[in-house]
């Protein structure tokens, strides 16, 4: 791939070096070339460098969509003329299908489309296939696209298009499961914003303020919602960035009195993100989530340490949570529920022992009995299911003595519980100072 790019001098283009190297279709070479021509011929000012990059990413991300539509063989992205056709069709389709052009106040797409058309027409006289494709697009798609907003001006600065472009880049990445593209986009955005903030230049907070002054509330909400989704998918770091983006989206939505559906969608991410960071969400936030997701049951189970009730609620909503990309976060919250159960057992143990020396020690058998009692609710639920389904779920949610000890050891390792297991005397000793750090109950 690199040899092909160097041959045409594209890899040396500074804008091309900014395109994230992520998991994309192997036939990407040709499209990268023509994306580079768009960037170089758009004649944008220096202040529009961010916008140029986002146009590139929209088109590169959209390659997967085009290929999924059966474009592997006709046209072929590895052939220069076919790649040019794909690049043009990708940009046209992004503008036509993935932006609410009836509501926009500028024809932002005209500059890159016209720039690419100029480049392609230079080649068209010697390439009949390319000439036919341009003529077909010019007669069918482009008039329809331009007529959507015929009198709107072409935005020169495009500063306020930034969150719109970003949120749609991320949305397309999620649609095509190109999560590395979405993550690279948001990571670079936040790095750039931090650098601009240090230099006193425009950053995302200023863009948010400008959009809110214009009344473009939906753009701000969508941008921060999409960025929050990206960070929620990154399980290698804490959920703080995801929670902060969702908090901005939620605040703006509530202040703008957005519909219950919008608030509920944001809250469906905000609640588990808070729990994953060991913060208990407000009850009104939990109530905003659609009842079908059983968040009231899930949050109540975490608060009470009722592991059985938590498992039942997860199984009843597993498909819905998976469809929203929330299942893995809730599976991680299962550990928080386990911590709460241990806290409850420790309180019971302290009440039953008068000697202060032993009040923070529990026998492993006592802990195992506590887990068995907590899972009784789940066993009752399994009896209502077909035998084969019940057997499978029982294996997945098994809580024998070995599993319990392994779970506790994992909690100690991750710092959610302070203490140690003494296998020789079959007891667990908890820290007297702060046995369960960090959780706001």
What CATH number is attached to the domain comprising 409? Answer: 1.10.10.10
State phi, psi for 300 to the nearest 5 degrees.
-60, -40
Residue 193, domain member (yes or no): no
Of 298, 296, 204, 221, the closest CA to residue 266 belongs to 221
Q: Please tell me the predicted confidence (pLDDT) of residue 132.
A: 72
Q: Please tell me the predicted confidence (pLDDT) of residue 71.
A: 41
Distance CA 208, CA 350 (A): 52
Q: How many CB atoms lie within 10 A of CB 40?
A: 16
Of 126, 143, 177, which one is at a domain's C-terminal end? 177
pLDDT band, residue 13 (cuts 50/70/90): very low
Q: Please tell me the predicted confidence (pLDDT) of residue 270.
A: 93
- Angle of helix 29-41 relative to helix 49-66, nearest 10 degrees, comes to 150
Residue 365, domain member (yes or no): yes
Query: The dihedral of CA 41, 44, 45, 49: what is its sign?
Result: negative
The model's pLDDT over 341-357, given as tens digits with 9 standing for 90+, comes to 998 888 888 888 877 77
Looking at the 3D structure of the chain, how many domains does it have?
2
Say how many Å lie between the first and final Cα of the chain, rounded. 54
Expressed as residue numbers, the domain containing 22 is 2-157+165-177
State phi, psi for 237 to the nearest 5 degrees.
-130, 170
Q: How far is CA 267 from the centre of its chain?
A: 14
Which range (17-21, 111-115, 366-370, 435-439) has the least confidence?
17-21
Q: Please tell me the predicted confidence (pLDDT) of residue 383.
A: 81
Specify the higher pLDDT residue, 144 or 283: 283
Residue 217, domain member (yes or no): no
State phi, psi for 429 to the nearest 5 degrees.
-110, 130
The model's pLDDT over 158-202, given as tens digits with 9 standing for 90+, comes to 444 455 555 555 554 555 455 555 565 566 666 666 766 666 666
The yes-or-no verdict on residue 317 having pLDDT over 80 is: yes
Residue 202, domain member (yes or no): no
Residue 378, domain member (yes or no): yes
Which range (87-91, 102-106, 171-175, 295-299) has the least confidence?
102-106
Distance CA 233, CA 226 (A): 11
Of 339, 338, 362, 341, the closest CA to residue 350 belongs to 362
Torsion angle of the four alpha carbons 394, 397, 400, 401, in this order, in degrees rounded to the nearest 10: 180
Over its C-alpha atoms, the chain yields an Rg (Å, rounded) of 27
Tell whether 150 and 299 lie within a shared domain. no
Average pLDDT of the segment spanning 202-230: 71
Cβ contacts of residue 14 below 8 Å, gap of 6+? none
Q: What mean pLDDT, rounded, does the chain reach?
A: 68
Tell whether 6 and 141 lie within a shared domain. yes
Distance CA 249, CA 263 (A): 9
Tell whether 173 and 303 lie within a shared domain. no
Total residue length of the chain: 441
Residue 22 to residues 57, 90, 97, 398, Cα–Cα distance (Å):
11, 19, 24, 38
Q: Which structure tokens are listed for 265?
A: 């969608």
Q: Is the bond into 75 cis (omega within 30 degrees of 0)?
A: yes
Which range (181-190, 301-310, 361-370) has the least confidence?
181-190
Tell whether 31 and 171 lie within a shared domain. yes
Residue 182, domain member (yes or no): no
Residue 265, domain member (yes or no): no
Which range (45-59, 251-265, 392-406) has the least confidence?
45-59
Residue 143, domain member (yes or no): yes
Q: Is the distance from CB of 219 to CB of 163 less than 8 angstroms?
A: yes
Distance CA 50, CA 15 (A): 10
Of 105, 100, 135, 99, the closest CA to residue 117 belongs to 135
pLDDT band, residue 110 (cuts 50/70/90): low
pLDDT band, residue 272 (cuts 50/70/90): very high
pLDDT band, residue 267 (cuts 50/70/90): very high
pLDDT band, residue 68 (cuts 50/70/90): very low
Q: Please tell me the predicted confidence (pLDDT) of residue 10.
A: 26
Of 290, 399, 275, 301, the closest CA to residue 314 belongs to 301
Q: Please tell me the predicted confidence (pLDDT) of residue 269.
A: 92
What is the SS3 assignment for 143? helix
Q: Residue 249: left if φ>0, alpha if ψ -120 to 50, beta else—which one?
A: alpha
């Amino acid at each position: 791939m690199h040899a092909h790019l160097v041959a045409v001098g594209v890899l040396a283009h500074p804008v091309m070096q900014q395109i994230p190297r992520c998991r994309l279709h192997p036939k990407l070479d040709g499209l990268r070339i023509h994306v580079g021509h768009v960037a170089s011929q758009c004649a944008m000012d220096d202040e529009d460098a961010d916008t140029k990059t986002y146009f590139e990413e929209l088109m590169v991300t959209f390659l997967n969509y085009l290929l999924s539509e059966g474009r592997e063989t006709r046209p072929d992205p590895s052939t220069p003329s076919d790649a040019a056709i794909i690049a043009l069709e990708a940009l046209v389709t992004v503008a036509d299908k993935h932006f609410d052009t009836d509501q926009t106040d500028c024809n932002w797409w005209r500059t890159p489309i016209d720039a690419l058309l100029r480049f392609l027409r230079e080649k068209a006289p010697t390439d009949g296939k390319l000439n036919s494709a341009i003529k077909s697009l010019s007669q069918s798609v482009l008039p329809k696209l331009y007529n959507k907003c015929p009198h709107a001006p072409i935005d020169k600065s495009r500063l306020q298009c930034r969150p719109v472009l970003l949120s749609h880049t991320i949305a397309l990445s999620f649609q095509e499961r190109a999560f590395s593209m979405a993550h690279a986009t948001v990571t670079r955005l936040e790095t750039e914003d931090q650098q601009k903030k240090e230099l006193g230049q425009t950053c995302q907070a200023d863009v948010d303020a400008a959009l809110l002054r214009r009344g473009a509330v939906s753009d701000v909400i969508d941008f921060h919602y999409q960025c929050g989704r990206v960070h929620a998918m990154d399980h290698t770091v804490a959920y703080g960035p995801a929670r902060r983006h969702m908090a901005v989206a939620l605040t703006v939505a509530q202040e703008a009195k957005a519909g219950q559906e919008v608030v509920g969608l944001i809250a469906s991410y905000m609640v588990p993100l808070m729990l994953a960071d060991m913060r208990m969400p407000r009850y009104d936030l939990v109530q905003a989530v659609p009842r079908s997701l059983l968040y009231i049951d899930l949050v109540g189970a975490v608060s009470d340490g009722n592991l059985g009730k938590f498992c039942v609620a997860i199984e009843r909503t597993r498909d819905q949570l998976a469809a929203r990309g929330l299942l893995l976060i809730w599976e991680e919250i299962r550990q928080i529920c386990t911590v709460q159960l241990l806290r409850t057992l420790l309180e019971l143990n302290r009440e039953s022992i008068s000697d202060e020396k032993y009040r923070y020690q529990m026998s492993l058998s006592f802990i195992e009995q506590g887990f068995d009692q907590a899972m009784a609710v789940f066993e009752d639920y399994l009896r209502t299911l077909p035998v084969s389904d019940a057997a499978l779920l029982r294996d997945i949610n098994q809580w024998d003595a070995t599993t319990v000890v392994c779970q506790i050891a994992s909690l100690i390792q991750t710092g959610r519980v302070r203490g140690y297991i003494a296998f020789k005397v079959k007891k667990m000793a908890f820290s007297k100072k702060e046995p369960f750090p960090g959780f706001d109950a």
